[in-house]
């Protein structure tokens, strides 16, 4: 539906969805573009770019998504509903804020200076706790984004779904389960195959690519919910005029 025909509040919601989707979809590409165009060192994970010249890009993207998610209202709470739009988006927003301001550990010989405030405050003996907090927050963010795509974006006020909504819901579920698959894959490798994970990260940046796939799925889900993909995926919208 064109934005000019929507209620101003709905237009704001659509813009928030598109902003979250655009940041999630483009962040890996922006990082890679700087790697290949400006000789920024390639990193083993997206979070590790915090310790390069792209710190501001990583922090700005994370803080932007966090701010949008905390401000996002979504659907009204249903009776006895636990996982409401408001609660899920707020938890995800706080989690992604945490990943931005409590960075992962720097394993490079020459870390980008100055150190983050949290790096300066936490004693070296607690470095592992810092890294665990960062990883946990990143996992919470992605899992709650998957829940949003699978459970919340598939909601509808109409009892009998039209083919248009059914096809969109299939996409939301694919995107959501892709995010979960990447989180489980990264977690399984880090926990059960740590030595293999280090080799894979060093040789072909396994964690970076798995995180990128999760962010691309997240971005596409939010862009689809924001109504920006009608022209790009016409088969999802071809029944719009005849189906609810």
pLDDT at 119 exceeding the cut of 90: no
pLDDT-derived band at 118, boundaries 50, 70, 90: confident
What pLDDT does 244 receive? 36
- Tens of pLDDT, residue by residue over 199-225, are 999 999 999 999 999 999 999 999 999
Helix (H, G, I), strand (E, B) or coil at 200: helix
Based on C-alpha coordinates, what's the Rg of the chain? 19
The pair of three-digit structure tokens given for residue 234, joined into one six-digit string: 């016409």
Q: Are 95 and 138 in contact (CB under 8 A)?
A: yes
| Mean per-residue pLDDT, 97-109 | 85
pLDDT at 39 exceeding the cut of 70: yes
* Domain boundaries defined on the chain: 3-236
pLDDT-derived band at 192, boundaries 50, 70, 90: very high
- Tens of pLDDT, residue by residue over 137-176, are 999 999 999 999 999 999 876 666 678 888 999 999 999 9
Interatomic CA distance for residues 133 and 126, integer angstroms: 11
Nearest alpha-carbon partner for 86 in 148, 141, 142: 148
Interatomic CA distance for residues 221 and 151, integer angstroms: 12
pLDDT-derived band at 108, boundaries 50, 70, 90: confident
| Mean per-residue pLDDT, 100-115 | 78
Ranked by mean pLDDT, the top range of 77-91, 100-114, 164-178 is 164-178
Q: What angle do CA 45, 51, 57 make, to 5 degrees?
A: 80
What pLDDT does 54 receive? 94
DSSP per position, 123-150 = -GGGHHHHHHHHHHHHHHHHHHHHHIII
Q: Are 69 and 96 in contact (CB under 8 A)?
A: yes
0.95 exceeded by pTM: no
pLDDT at 238 exceeding the cut of 50: no
């Amino acid at each position: 539906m064109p934005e000019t025909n929507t209620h101003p509040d709905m237009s704001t919601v659509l813009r928030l969805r598109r902003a979250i989707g655009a940041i999630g979809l483009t962040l890996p590409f922006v990082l890679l573009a700087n790697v290949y165009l400006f000789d920024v060192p390639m990193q083993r994970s997206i979070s590790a770019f915090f310790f390069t010249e792209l710190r501001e890009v990583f922090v700005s993207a994370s803080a932007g998504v966090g701010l949008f998610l905390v401000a996002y209202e979504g659907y009204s709470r249903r009776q006895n509903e636990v996982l409401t739009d408001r609660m899920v988006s707020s938890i995800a927003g706080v989690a992604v804020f945490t990943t931005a301001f409590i960075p992962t550990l720097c394993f490079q010989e020459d870390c980008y200076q100055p150190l983050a405030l949290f790096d300066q405050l936490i004693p070296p003996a607690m470095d592992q706790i810092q890294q665990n907090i960062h990883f946990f927050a990143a996992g919470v963010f992605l899992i709650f984004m998957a829940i949003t795509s699978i459970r919340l974006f598939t909601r509808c006020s109409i009892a009998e779904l039209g083919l248009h909504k059914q096809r969109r819901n299939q996409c939301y579920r694919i995107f959501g389960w892709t995010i979960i698959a990447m989180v489980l894959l990264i977690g399984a490798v880090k926990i059960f195959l740590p030595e293999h994970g280090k080799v894979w990260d060093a040789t072909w940046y396994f964690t970076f690519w798995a995180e990128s796939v999760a962010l691309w799925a997240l971005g596409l889900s939010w862009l689809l919910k924001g109504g920006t993909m009608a022209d790009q995926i016409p088969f999802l919208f071809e029944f719009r005029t005849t189906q609810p």
